[in-house]
Structure 1
Amino acid sequence: MMEVIDLTGDRISGLPDPILTHILSFIPTEEAVRTCILSKRWIKVWTCLPVLVLDDHTTQYDGLTQEEYQQREIKFLRFLSGIMFNREMITLDTFKLDWCVNGWDTHIIVCRFLCYAVMCRPRILSIHIESSRYFTLPDSIFTCTSIEEMSLWLETNDIFHKDNFLKPISINLPFLKNLELGYMDLNDDIMTMLISGCPVLEELALIHCWLKLSMISSNVLNKLVLTNCYQCGPMEISCPGVVSLSVTSINVGGITLKNMSSLATADIIFLDQGSTSNYDLRLLSGLSNVTSLKLQITCPAVMDLLLADIPNCPTLKNLKSLELGGLDFNYDWNLAACLLQHSSNLKDLILLFHPETVTCYQISELLNFSPTKPTEEEFQGGIAFRHEYLEAVKISCPGKKVKLVKELVDFYTTAEISIL
């Protein structure tokens, strides 16, 4: 006889605690804690959560008076204290805190909570803090040997006048593989401590940081990201194991790529922020083995530095995909021609032109797709390049010229042409 299953009862509450805590780990911690009011069965379930995600930015503060804002802040601080006093001291898999710190009392409570989180030995640690005043991270964060992934952001109202937020006494993170730092002062001493104290570090991302570095050197890094950083002087990047490099800079203080033999993917963007550099920019020699290159420069001063680097351009024998963005033929003709000349195995080409700075004749001359192999005179002349393997060309240029450009390029090559 078939057994009749009762579907009217509370079947979820009958699940084992490990399953319930696993389910609760997928929702914000504040919501998970609220389950304690469901019934006696749920009172202690949240205290064994392997994940703590605390995001004060999910609370809407717009339109609140100062008094109402302070009451919300006090409520959140009490919530943090409640977790410290009531949660079981079991290992954490993930700890994330995203919060705005205002007063000194708030600073003290947040630091205590961070120390508590470190005592639970998390595998993933993410701390994003906005502060209107000086804030110091607990030193215990930098000696937590369980951490494998870490993201630390310390943002003030004025990121260019902070005073070295990151200055631990020592760093010992033997299992850390991924590190992201945001809105921090970084000098050579700190970078040396990070590299030596993180012996298996594979990925490093520096975002909105003030770089007072002369060198980033590592034999174990395989991915390096520099995003919207302010560079104070010339810097050398020497990472023979790096496979992927991304540089998006708002200020160029001089960058030299050295010992980048493993580099396969490079995305380099220099934004025009009205700043200039008196330093050398030596990038091309470090790109000899790349298979994919994206290069976008909107600052004429930086373009002048790259043009001076053209004699150092190697043969890009492995380059299959090339994207040149922000092209302005008042500045970029020689650089574009140089890169095309040195990329005989290129398959995919993307050209993004500045509006009203290029003529159809210039584009067709740059893309001199001769049906036969160009002569040495043509090749040395700077307008022809070998294209036996070229499969696709994508072009973005002023709208009124799109049709004519496509006709010109179609005439010169059998590669698939598309207009962006």
Structure 2
Amino acid sequence: MDNSSRLCVQMNGGIDRISGLPDPILTHILSFLPTKEAVHTCLLSKRWKNMWASVPVLNFDLKEFGDGYSDFKLEDYETYIHRGNEFENPYNEYHDPRPLFEWFLHGVLENREPLHLGSLQFRWAPDGGCRQVSLNWLDDIVLLMPRVISVFIWKHPCPDFPDSVFSCTSLENFELVVDNVPKELVSPKSISLPSLKVLHLGGQVLTDDFMKLLFLGCPVLEELELDECMLVVSDISSNVLKKLVINSFNFNYDDKIQISCPGLLYLDVCSLGPTLFLKNVASLVNAYISLVDCDDFKFLSSLFNVTTLSLTLPFYRIKDLLEKDFPKCQPFTNLKCLEFTFRRISHFRLIVYLLKHSPNLQKLTLYLHELFYIDGKEEDLNQ
């Protein structure tokens, strides 16, 4: 530890023991703060002047800057990223004006120490009408070899997403969520993410071509979550995937999707459709299926090994589907916990069937929908 790290500064009759901590501990503490607050600490003393520049975590949030378009106050921010060079005001007459938020973000990237990055979190959720955000700066982030990248964009036009992120060899966890009309935002020509284990995509249009590139380029991908995505996909196949979550109401009713993942342990599907086919999922332990529309229940025959099963199924045609598909099902010999949500008398047929074919069932939980159908008539159970 150098002498500067050993100093305990006396202030107002007290002792500043925090400044005496080693640099690695101080940067670790700062990593829990938003980057704006971490940069603020440069005002504390010479000891802290450049400490923020070595923090292995970057956390940018538009809300930290109001609407991102407030009046620029040079006296408030000139010391943020000033490291001995002449401060350049990006709002003077020789420069195009741009939001303070974007200026701060680029300033941090330009002045940060060239150290490997642990994680990046970027949140862009403007309250008013802001211009489209650019994500080109992610090219610079990739050069820092990050392990985690999280990008969240709300109520804003979808920006073009740089392909460089899809060739980041250090990336282990990647989140890209856009709260807007689904768009084909990610369409890289190639994908090479040899370290990626967790992927969460939201608000995207995903195609079969993308899914093929994804599983070919992510040899160790274990967790995949697709949230409010429009899936123009017929097949999801992976030999290494262990957890799959699909929460989508953007299927075409006529679509059919096959899931073939022999190593899958956890499956959670909630959607309006399409017809769901499960293949090579004998390793499944936990399955949560909620379908608003479904042409058959053949997928149930693939769930015979699960220990936990949660079902929410369409409220119509269940009798016909049961008679057609259930004779093909194997006994659920491993099933211990069953949850079922129903809103029609005919759904009791399914419950009876599952009880008869689940010899080791330990826990049964029934959820009755507030609006329950009796003989084709909707009844309010609260009456």
Instruction: Mark the CA change 1:17 to 1:190 in structure 2 (over 3 Å): closer, same or farther.
Output: same
Which residue does 1:348 correspond to in 2? 363
Q: What is the deviation of 1:169?
A: 1.5
Which residue does 1:264 correspond to in 2? 285
Asked whether the 8 Å contact 2:136–2:161 carries over to 1, the reply is no
Instruction: Mark the CA change 1:306 to 1:85 in structure 2 (over 3 Å): closer, same or farther.
Output: farther
**SS of the counterpart of 2:15?**
coil
Q: What is the deviation of 1:9?
A: 2.6
* Residues 1:286 and 2:302 are matched in the alignment: yes
**SS of the counterpart of 2:201?**
strand
Matching residue within 328, 345, 354 for 1:312: 328
The gaps in structure 2 that reach 5 residues or longer are 1-7, 74-96, 375-379
Which residue does 1:220 correspond to in 2? 240
Residue type at the aligned position of 1:133? P
Q: What is the deviation of 1:328?
A: 2.1
* Residues 1:8 and 2:33 are matched in the alignment: no
Instruction: Mark the CA change 1:49 to 1:204 in structure 2 (over 3 Å): closer, same or farther.
Output: same
Which residue does 2:192 correspond to in 1? 172
Instruction: Mark the CA change 1:9 to 1:138 in structure 2 (over 3 Å): closer, same or farther.
Output: same
* Residues 1:23 and 2:45 are matched in the alignment: no
Instruction: Measure the CA separation in 2 of the matches of 1:55 and 1:326.
Output: 42
Q: What is the deviation of 1:313?
A: 2.1
1:195-210 to 2 correspondences below 5 Å: 195-210=215-230
Instruction: Measure the CA separation in 1 of the matches of 2:71 and 2:263.
Output: 49
**SS of the counterpart of 2:136?**
helix
Residue type at the aligned position of 1:124? V
Instruction: Measure the CA separation in 2 of the matches of 1:294 and 1:337.
Output: 15
Aligned residues: percent identity?
Answer: 41
Q: What is the deviation of 1:326?
A: 2.7
**SS of the counterpart of 1:316?**
coil
Instruction: Measure the CA separation in 2 of the matches of 1:216 and 1:22.
Output: 39
* Residues 1:120 and 2:147 are matched in the alignment: no
* Residues 1:150 and 2:170 are matched in the alignment: no
Which residue does 1:133 correspond to in 2? 157
Q: What is the deviation of 1:139?
A: 0.8
Instruction: Measure the CA separation in 2 of the matches of 1:43 and 1:12.
Output: 14
Which residue does 2:3 correspond to in 1? none
Instruction: Measure the CA separation in 2 of the matches of 1:307 and 1:168.
Output: 45
Which residue does 1:337 correspond to in 2? 352
**SS of the counterpart of 2:288?**
strand
* Residues 1:297 and 2:313 are matched in the alignment: yes
Instruction: Measure the CA separation in 2 of the matches of 1:90 and 1:349.
Output: 53
Matching residue within 223, 232, 254 for 2:275: 254
Instruction: Measure the CA separation in 2 of the matches of 1:49 and 1:117.
Output: 14
Residue type at the aligned position of 1:339? L
Instruction: Mark the CA change 1:213 to 1:268 in structure 2 (over 3 Å): closer, same or farther.
Output: same
Which residue does 1:188 correspond to in 2? 208
Which stretch shifts more, 239-248 or 229-238? Answer: 229-238
Instruction: Measure the CA separation in 1 of the matches of 2:319 and 2:175.
Output: 33
**SS of the counterpart of 1:261?**
coil
Q: What is the deviation of 1:128?
A: 1.3
Q: Deviations over 1:346-404 (max 9, x none)?
A: 11111222357489xxxxxxxxxxxxxxxxxxxxxxxxxxxxxxxxxxxxx9589xxxx
Asked whether the 8 Å contact 1:152–1:182 carries over to 2, the reply is yes
Instruction: Mark the CA change 1:13 to 1:253 in structure 2 (over 3 Å): closer, same or farther.
Output: same
Which residue does 1:40 correspond to in 2? 46
**SS of the counterpart of 1:9?**
strand
* Residues 1:56 and 2:62 are matched in the alignment: yes
Instruction: Measure the CA separation in 1 of the matches of 2:328 and 2:98.
Output: 57
Instruction: Measure the CA separation in 2 of the matches of 1:53 and 1:303.
Output: 53
* Residues 1:242 and 2:264 are matched in the alignment: yes
Q: Deviations over 1:81-111 (max 9, x none)?
A: 111211111101111111148766x53xx32
TM-score (norm 1): 0.74
Asked whether the 8 Å contact 1:207–1:229 carries over to 2, the reply is no
Instruction: Measure the CA separation in 2 of the matches of 1:346 and 1:17.
Output: 55
Residue type at the aligned position of 2:352? A
Asked whether the 8 Å contact 1:307–1:335 carries over to 2, the reply is no
Which stretch shifts more, 281-290 or 307-316? Answer: 307-316
Which residue does 1:84 correspond to in 2? 109
Residue type at the aligned position of 1:231? F
**SS of the counterpart of 2:177?**
strand
Q: Deviations over 1:294-340 (max 9, x none)?
A: 112354368865664323322100001111113421x3122112111
Asked whether the 8 Å contact 2:297–2:326 carries over to 1, the reply is no
Instruction: Measure the CA separation in 1 of the matches of 2:361 and 2:200.
Output: 33
Which residue does 1:75 correspond to in 2? 100
Which stretch shifts more, 191-200 or 79-88? Answer: 79-88
TM-score (norm 2): 0.81
Which residue does 1:417 correspond to in 2? none
Residue type at the aligned position of 1:14? G
Asked whether the 8 Å contact 2:207–2:232 carries over to 1, the reply is yes
**SS of the counterpart of 2:103?**
helix
**SS of the counterpart of 1:153?**
strand
Q: What is the deviation of 1:229?
A: 4.1
Compute the RMSD of aligned alpha carbons.
2.9
Instruction: Measure the CA separation in 1 of the matches of 2:158 and 2:34.
Output: 28
Residue type at the aligned position of 1:262? S
Which residue does 2:77 correspond to in 1? none
**SS of the counterpart of 1:311?**
helix
Asked whether the 8 Å contact 1:283–1:309 carries over to 2, the reply is no
* Number of equivalenced pairs: 341
Instruction: Measure the CA separation in 2 of the matches of 1:335 and 1:91.
Output: 55
